[in-house]
Chains A and B, each alone.
Chain A
Amino acid sequence: MRQSVFQSSMRRAPYVFVLPFVISVLVFYLYPIIATIVMSFQDVVPGETRWIGTANYGKMFSEDFYKALGNSLKYTALTILILIPVPIILSVMLNGYRRRTNAVYRAVLFLPSLVSVVVAGTVFRLTFALSPKAAVNAIVILLGGRATDWVLGGAAQAMFLMVMIAVWRWTGVNIVYFLSGLQNIPNELYEAADIDGARSLARFLYITLPLLKPTIIFVTTISIFGGFAMFEESYIFWQGQSPNNVGLTMVGLIYKKGFQTGSMGLASAIGIVLMVVIFIVSLIALRSFGFFKRES
């Protein structure tokens, strides 16, 4: 008797445990994804929805769209180009045996990721302020340049600002990932290299980098998702109203069309296209890493 209660509890329990997940996936992921696809074929105005076929996809490719896509692509590419090599080099520097000292440096570099994007934006507005006395402009002038309007000065300045705020906030996080990757590399490999008389550059190129590959793939993938999903870093500088759309990103465009203009159908179509873009870009990235090849 007792045995059978016990066994039925064993059999049913796993499903009870995963039930909350299944429900929440249905409500907060699956339904929204399907709803987005459905809405992308509709004209959605409060109280009334109309099927309009692929019209949203037809009128989507406006100037705004190309601007947003271009900005998101550029932002993603630049953040990856900086936020992978720089943290790798810094984490190699931090992976020595002076553990106490290194922990302090690691904490300092991690600190910016703790503050909210609004606080980061406030600080950046002030360090990149228009006045020639402001910190960044003071350096520019010292190097022989002219005081620049970083926030409203143009596309290049805007992109620089957004990439810099990402670098400030995410370097420390990526260092944590790379450090944990470095700690998985067996010391014997370096000892063998020492016996062979390998110099530190050779050790880095032929041992460290190849063995960090899983971490590099992981960080690249999350950077692609993060890059294309970027919205907040732009919103805190321009509140969705940047001159010539220099700060407009794909999610910014969805927000603008969906909540500010009220064209939910069009915004949904843009969301679907963005999902496809993210999917394709990450597939290309993973392929170029040889992720799908079976390695022995």
Chain B
Amino acid sequence: MAIPTKRLTTSELGVYIILTIVGVLFLFPIYALILSSFRPGRDLMRYGITFSSIIPDFFSTNNYAALLTGHRGEYPVWYRNSLILACSQTILTLAFSSFVGYGIGIYQFKGKNALTILVLLIMIVPLQILILPLYKIMTTLHAMNSFPGLLLPFIVSPFAIFFFRQYASGIPRDYFDAGRIDGLSEYAIFRKISVPLMIPAYGAMAILIAQQTWNNFLWPLIVIQTSNMFTLTIGLNSLLTPYGNNYDMLIAGSCAASVPIIIVFFFFQRFFISGLTTGGIKG
């Protein structure tokens, strides 16, 4: 590697010009969406997002006020549902997947390899194909249109299990032996020694699971039947009518639904990245 210099070389300048153009193209839609949320929806409906909409020329918080009261005041209910779902899903999935992944990761037992292969196989079965029988299961369990129905199929996540397996197998064995010498049971070792050691793994998976749950669309579309159970994605989708008469709410609602995730991303960027890559690719 060359010695790092502060001056930009010509080729580097070229690279940053390309990156800047791509970056602006990628940011433009989000930027335009945010600005549009402070404008009346009428123009949007007529012209869509135009290049003149990149100038912040109008500022009113009417659309956001309408979120609280418009559409029979349902938006706050959707928001609450999404929050309940994302929190409970994250806690449950983390608890189960870390328990299982840790078990596969640190013990030697009959069937260990078969289980690891099973986890990998299940990762590649797209849930989209199984929606019909899952729907029948939820009907049988009377779990349609309820939080359990939304949560259950995702409680044990093969991806999270694999992630915790990789993470746990990296913990030095001395920790467990120390626990055993102190007379702790295997479950107490998990609770008192391993869980604290796996906190970074919990962080990475929590963010990934919360984001996926917050944005999940297909399964809630099938399970939810009444608008008081709508999550944000399903609620916003219901505002997307061909008549475009809900644009005020749709745009402000989209912004309010996306901003929390974007804020979390800026604070925990490292967790997002490690959650995607660690254990994902074996060299």
Q: Chain A interface (Cβ within 8 Å of chain B)?
A: 2, 6, 9-10, 13-18, 20-21, 24-25, 27-29, 31-33, 35-36, 39, 90, 93-94, 96-98, 101, 103, 105, 107-112, 114-131, 133-135, 138, 168, 171-173, 176-177, 180-181, 184, 187, 190-191, 200, 214-215, 218, 221, 225, 228-229, 231-232, 235-236, 239, 251, 254-255, 258-259, 264, 267-268, 271, 274-275, 278, 282
Contact = CB atoms under 8 A, between A and B. Distances in A.
Contacts, number: 265
Nearest to B161: A21
B131 A255 contact: yes
29 contacts: A13-B103, A13-B185, A17-B102, A17-B107, A20-B99, A28-B156, A33-B133, A90-B19, A96-B15, A112-B26, A115-B261, A115-B262, A116-B215, A116-B236, A117-B217, A119-B254, A122-B251, A123-B29, A126-B33, A129-B47, A129-B48, A131-B47, A135-B49, A138-B51, A177-B277, A180-B280, A181-B281, A231-B218, A236-B237
Interface string B6-25: 00000110011011001100
10 A-B pairs with the lowest CB-CB distances in the bound complex, closest first: A17-B103, A129-B48, A134-B48, A32-B133, A13-B186, A116-B215, A14-B107, A35-B133, A229-B126, A24-B156
Classify chain B: how many residues form its interface, as a range.
Answer: 35 or more
If over half of B's interface residues share one DSSP class (helix, strand or loop), that class is named, otherwise mixed; here it is: helix
A122 B100 contact: no
A174 to B, nearest CB: 10
A264 B132 contact: yes
B137 interface: yes
A125 B29 CA distance: 10
Interface stretch (B58-66, B69-77, B195-203, B268-276): B268-276
Contact of B130 (A36, A110, A115, A123): A36
Nearest to A12: B186
A76 B152 CA distance: 29
Contacts of B33: 119, 122-123, 126
A215 B277 CA distance: 10
A131 B53 CA distance: 14
A131 B269 CA distance: 38
B49 A126 contact: yes
Contacts of A20: 96, 99-100, 156
A115 B133 contact: no
Given A116-B258, A122-B254, A229-B129, A127 B49 contact: yes
A111 B262 contact: yes
Given A108-B27, A123-B30, A32 B130 contact: yes
A177 B115 contact: no
Given A97-B4, A254-B132, A133 B48 contact: yes
Contacts of A191: 1
B146 interface: no
B55 interface: no
A10 B16 CA distance: 57
A128 B28 CA distance: 13
B130 A114 contact: no
Nearest to A251: B128
B222 interface: yes
If over half of A's interface residues share one DSSP class (helix, strand or loop), that class is named, otherwise mixed; here it is: helix
A121 B237 CA distance: 9
B104 interface: yes
B236 A24 contact: no
B46 interface: yes
Nearest to A86: B22
B137 A31 contact: yes
A122 B107 CA distance: 48
A28 to B, nearest CB: 5
A57 B224 CA distance: 30
Contact of A133 (B50, B122, B125, B186): B50
A39 B161 CA distance: 30
Contacts of B283: 184, 214
Contacts of A93: 15, 18-19
B214 A116 contact: yes
A33 B133 CA distance: 8
Contacts of A90: 19, 22
B201 to A, nearest CB: 16
A108 B81 CA distance: 29
A28 B153 contact: yes
B178 interface: no
B180 interface: yes
A10 B129 contact: no
B258 to A, nearest CB: 4
Nearest to A268: B132
A45 to B, nearest CB: 13
Interface in B136-157: 136-137, 152-153, 155-156
A123 B49 contact: yes
Given A31-B133, A129-B47, A21 B29 contact: no
